[in-house]
Each structure stands twice: as C-alpha cells, then as structure tokens.
Structure 1
Amino acid sequence: MKVTVGPAQYIRRMGLLNEAGTYIKNFGKTAALIGGHNSLSIVEKSLRQSLSEYEISLEYSLWYGGESSQTNIDRLVEALASHNIDVVIVVGGGKAIDTVKAVAYRLNKPLVAIPTIAATCAAATPISILYNDEGEFIGIGRESKAPDLVLADTTVILNAPVRYLIAGIGDTLAKWFETKSSVKNAVPTAINQTAIVIAGQLYKTLLRIGKEAVQSVEKLDLTKELEDVIDAIILISGSVSGYGGDDCRTAGAHAIYSGLTIFPEIHETYHGEIVAFGILAQLCMEGAGKEELNTLISYYKEIGLPFTLRQMGIKSLTDHQWKEFGEITVTIEDMANMPFEVTPEMVIEAVRRADEIGNEILSTTTKC
C-alpha cells in the first residue's frame, strides 16, 4: 500500500509572501519561478525581495504556458534541465500548479507552491490534470509530485476575484458526492473510510459557511469563515484524495466536466463551476430525487454557482454534439469510478435532466 497525503508542509496566513524566504531557504540557494502572467506580476517582486534576504538567487521567472499540457511541461523541463536549480517555485491557480508539479517530478527537484487563488486542491495532490494545448481534457498525469511546501498568503487570495473562491467551493463540494460513489467499488478500510468522513465534513462546512466566505471576499474582509474555506479548498480537499487513493477518486461529476471541455464556448467557465454542474448530472444518473437537486441548486444560487448549460456558455447542442459528448465522457477514467456501468445515453440523459431542472428554477427566479 502506498499513500501520499498532501504536501509535506502547509502554511497559511496574511502577509506570508513577505516571509517566503524563511521557509524556502531550507531547499537551497538557487530557484526558478514559474506561473501565470497575472500571478507572476502579483507575487514576483515581494518573493524576490524575501528570497534575497536569505541570499537565495531567483535565477529564472517563466510563464507556465497557459495550459497544463505536455507541450508546456516538456518546454519548461528543457528550459531548466541543464541549469543548476535547487528548488522550483510555482505561483498561480490549478493549471499552473499541475504543470509545475509534473516539471518538478521530471527534474527531481523540491517544489514550493504559492497558490494565488483558492479554486482547486491542486497544491495538495500528487497528480496533474492534463489538457491539450486547446484546453480539452486528456487525462490524469501521475508523473507528478505533491509540493514539499505550500505557502498560502491570505492577503493575495483575499484580493483575487471572488469568482475563483466560488469555483473552489464547487470543486470541493464534489469530494463528498464523488467519494461516496466511488468508494462503493472498494473493500472498506480504515483509510478509505477516513476519507469519506473528511469529505462529508467538508460538505457540511461549505454548506454552513460558504456564503459567509464569499461575502468576506466581496467585502475584502478576512474572516475566520474565509480562512476555513481556503483551508478546506486547498488543503483538506486534497487530503480526501490522499487518504482515499484509488478507492476515493473523482467520479461522474469530474468526468462530465472533462467531457464538456470539448466545447470551446465553455472554456471561459472555471473548472469548479463546471464540476458543480457535473454534480447535479451525477445525481441524476444515480436517480436522486428532484427535491435533493433543488436543495443543492438553492445553495448554488446563494453563492453564485451555475446550474444550467446556458449559464456556462452552452446555448444549444446539435444531436451530433450530444452524441460526441456522451461517447467521450464515458471513456474518461473518472467515469469508471462510478459504482455501475455508465453508457453515453445515460450521460446525455443525466445532463439534459440536470439542465432541465436548473432551467425550471432559473425561470421561476426570473419571473419572481
């Protein structure tokens, strides 16, 4: 049995970026920084200053490429492989972090992750979600490493657009719905049963304080509720995958997310927003009652998550597009984690049903 439970160390507090060198000095004297354009512009100056105080040289500052793709991973490995770098630092969101987790694995270097948004658990998992260069999902990369250190500066995260936090809540909600489905395929153990309990507690926490956390970002007011939700999204969510391993993986909701990425119009919708809709479709596949979906959609409305295809940019699909979507979605490995065999027709029916229920609620809201 092999279990990788999140990063070796996770630190979260205000102004942490200004103290980064205190922790990164333990990994060596030369560093490469990789991230998104916006994240680099936010983080690099303060990070460089903090590193210099401990005589750590930031040798390279590189854009990750915009997609967590094999092309970008190979490009970054080639750029750094022949240079004397002690530690790799990644800043940004899930795609940047996933890209650099694969780079650090290939280079066999320590990795420090500085998430600038709380939108996924990428900083706390040992896998990378891979896409092609156009943003279509390809698969899960296991030649990847969990960060040795995660530095979550709540000042940076608080000042990020609130939509990222909302998407992070959507992605984290899926832990409960997918884990309790995928674990049905496994023999109960102390470890996977612990993962289920953590996922259930995450779900309760987000229902209880999710709205308050969103309001905290809207008011630029760092509250305990926001701190708890940041920890839930970035760290605790990743521990569910860590403890659960292959017994408690992502399932129908993430498979539907991945299938929907074949439509270019959805690429402006964030990962966790699409996953949140995927939860509704998974529940439909599982035969959940309309009342259960209505309850979850009410929460989505409260915090700002989408619950129809139109809200995610998909206004209509042809019969051919529906067929292509269904056929692709069942080939995605996440779908194999469902406790029953799923056919393309089941996927199409579930997504249409979830969209229908969502539109009913949306129309009622509009009339009111």
Structure 2
Amino acid sequence: MKVTVGPAQYVRKSGLLSEIGLYIEKFGKKAVLIGGNISREIVETKLREGMANMGITLEQSLWYGGEASRTNVNDLVEKLNRVDYDVIIAAGGGKALDTVKAVAHHVNKPLAAIPTIAATCAATTPIWITYSDEGEFTDISRDSKVPDIVLVDADVILQSPVRYLIAGIGDTLAKWFETKTSVKKAAPNARNQTAIAIAGQLYETMLNIGKQSVVSMEEKRMTSELEDMIDAVILISGSVSGYGGDDCRTAGAHAIYSGLTIFPEVHETYHGEIVAFGILAMLCMEGEEEKEIEDLISYYQEVNLPYTLQQMNVTKLSEAQWKELGEVSVTIEDMANMPFDVTPDMVVAAVKQADSIGKKMLVK
C-alpha cells in the first residue's frame, strides 16, 4: 500500500508573501518561479523582496504555457535544464499548478505552491489533469509531484475574482457526491471510511458557509467563513483523495465535465462550474429523487453556480454532438469509478434530464 495524503506543510496567512523567505530557505538559495502571467504579476515583486530578506535569489520567472499539456511540461523541463536553481515555486490556478507539479516530478526538485485563487485542490494533490494544447481533457496523469509546501496568502485570494471561489465551491462539492459513489466498488477499510467521513463533514460545512463566503469575497472582506472555504477548497478536499486513494476518486461528475470540454463554447466556463453541473447529471444517472436535485440547485442559486447547459454557453447540440458527448464521457477514466456500467445513452439521458430540471428551476 502506498498513499500520498498531501503536502508536508500548508500555511495560510494574510501577508504571507512578505515573509515567504522563511519558508523557502530550507530548500535552497536559488529559486525559479513558474506560473500564469497574471499570477506572476501579482506575486513576483513581493516574492522577490520576501526571499531577498533571506538571501534567496529568483533566477528565472517563466510562464507555464497556458494549458496543462505535455507540450508545455516538456518545454519547461528543457528550459530548466539550462538554469542553476534549488527549488521551484509554482503560482496560479489549477492548470498552472498541475503543469508545474509535472515539471517538478521530471526534474526531481523541491516544489512550493502558491495558489492565487481558491478554485481547485490542485495545490494539495499528487496527480495532474492533462489537457491537449487546445484545452481538451486527455487524461489523469500520475507523473506528478505533490508540493512540499503550500503557501496561501489570504490577501491574494481575497483580491481574486469571486467567480473563482464559486468554481472552487463547485469542484469541492463533488468530493462528497463522487466519493460516496466511487467507494461503493471498494471493500471498506480505515482509509476509505475516513475519507468518506471527511467528505461528508466537508459537504455539511460548505452548505453552511457557502453563501456567506461568496458574499465576503464580493465585499472583499475576510471573514471566518471565507477562511474556512479557502481551506475547504484547497486543503481539505485534497485530503479526501489522499486518504481514500483509488477507492475515493472522481467519478461521473468529472467524466461528464471532461466530455463537455469537447465543445469550444464551454471553455469560457471554469472547471468547477462545469463539474457542478456534472454532479446534477450524475445524480440523475444514479436515479436520485428529483427533490434532492432541486435542493442542490437551490444551493447553486445561493452561490451562483450554473445548473443548465445554457448557463455554460451550450445553447444547442446536434444529434451528432449529443452522441459524441456520450461516447467521449464513457471513455474517461473517472467514469470507470461508477459502481455500475455506464453507456453513452445513459450519459446523454442524464445530461438532458439535469438540464430539464435546471430549466424548471430558472423561474423559481
């Protein structure tokens, strides 16, 4: 048995970047920053100053490439082969962090992650979600390094667009629904039962603090609810997968997300927003009562998550597109975690049913 639970250390603090050298110095005196363009603009000046106070230099600042693709990972590995450095610092959202996790694995260097948005648990998981250069999902890859330390500057998260937090809520909600589904295929043990317990408590917490955490982000006001939501999205959700391992993985909701990414119009919708709709479709596939789905949509309305295809810019699909959606979704690794065999027709029927229920809720 081998389990990677998460990073060795997680730190969340307002103004953390100003003292970041205290956390980086144990990895060496020469660092490389890799991340998104906007994220690097946000953190780089304070990062340089904070590290300089401890005698640490930033040797390079590199863009991750815009997609978590093999092409970008290989390009970055090649660039780093020409640099003298001790530690990699990753900054950005899920795709940037995932890309750098793969790079760190291949160059075998320490990795510090600075998530600049609270939209996924990418900072605390050992896998990376791989896309094509055009942004279509390809697979779940395991040639990835879990960060040695995750550094969350709460002020940076607070100043990010509220929509990223909303997407993070959608992605984190899936931990409960997918964990309790995927674990049905496994024999109960201490690890997967602990993962279920964490996922259940996480879900209850999110129901309680969701609306207030979004309001806090909109008002740019740090509250205990927002602090808890940041930790829920970035840290706690990752620990569910860590403890549960392959017994408690993503399932139908993420498979349907991946299927929907074949449509270019959905690429302007964030990962967690699409996953949130995927949860609704997965519940339909499992034959859950419509009342349960409506109750979940009511929560979506509170936190402004999408619950119809139209809200994700998918206005009309041809029969051929519906067929492709079903066929692609069932090939996704996540779908194999469902406790029953799923056919393309089942996917199409579930997506249509979820969309129909959502449309009825639009007027409520």
What's the TM-score bracket when you normalise by the shorter of the two chains?
A: over 0.9
Q: Secondary structure at the match of 1:22?
A: helix
* CA distance in 1 between partners of 2:220 and 2:331 (Å): 42
Residue aligning to 1:72: 72
Aligned-pair CA distance for 1:81: 1.8
Instruction: Report the alpha carbon displacement of residue 55 of structure 1 after superposing the two structures with TM.
Output: 1.0
1:233 aligns with: 233
Return the letter of the residue paired with 1:35.
Answer: G
CA distances 1:153-190 after superposition (whole Å, capped 9, x unpaired): 00000000000000000000000000000000001000
Distance 1:234 1:138 in 2: 23
Aligned residues: 364
Equivalence map 1:108-187=2 (5 Å): 108-187=108-187
The equivalent of 2:353 in structure 1 is 353
Q: Which runs of 5+ in 2 are unaligned?
A: none
* 2:176 counterpart letter in structure 1: W
Q: What is the rounded CA distance, in whole Å, between the counterparts of 1:11 and 1:304 in structure 2?
A: 28
Could you list the structure 1 runs, at least 4 aligned residues long, displaced by more than 4 angstroms after superposition: none
Structure 1 counterpart SS, 2:152: strand
Secondary structure (helix, strand or coil) at the match of 1:113 reads strand
The equivalent of 1:31 in structure 2 is: 31
TM-score (norm 2): 0.99
Q: Which residue of 1 aligns with 2:216?
A: 216
Q: What residue in structure 2 maps to residue 316 of structure 1?
A: 316
Q: Tell me the equivalent position of 2:262.
A: 262
**1:332 is matched with which residue?**
332
TM-aligned CA deviation for residue 82 of structure 1: 3.4
Report the Cα offset of residue 311 of structure 1: 0.1
Alignment deviations for residues 98-146 of structure 1 (CA, whole Å, 9 cap, x no partner): 0000000000000000000000000000000000011000001100011
Q: Aligned partner of 2:138: which letter? A: I
Match of 1:189 in 2: 189
1:97-116 → structure 2 map (5 Å cutoff): 97-116=97-116
Which TM-score applies when normalising by structure 1? 0.98
For residue 64 of structure 2, what is the amino acid of its counterpart? Y
Match of 1:203 in 2: 203
- Structure 1 letter corresponding to 2:269: T
Q: Deviations over 1:322-344 (max 9, x none)?
A: 00110010000000000000000
Equivalent-residue separation in structure 2 for 1:202 and 1:276 (angstroms): 16
- What's the secondary structure of 2:79's corresponding residue? helix
The gaps in structure 1 that reach 5 residues or longer are none
Q: CA RMSD in A?
A: 0.5
Structure 2 distance, partners of 1:347, 1:250, is 16
What is the CA–CA distance in structure 1 between the aligned matches of 2:263 and 2:114, rounded to whole Å?
A: 31
Q: Give the SS at the match of 2:20.
A: helix
SS in 2 for 1:267: helix
Q: What is the aligned partner in structure 2 of residue 19 from structure 1?
A: 19
**CA apart distance, 1:85:** 1.3
Q: Any idea what the Cα deviations from partners look like across 1:65-94, whole Å, max 9, x if unmatched?
A: 110000000000000023221000000000
2:52 alignment partner AA: S
Q: For residues 257 and 301 of structure 2, what CA distance do their matches in structure 1 show?
A: 19
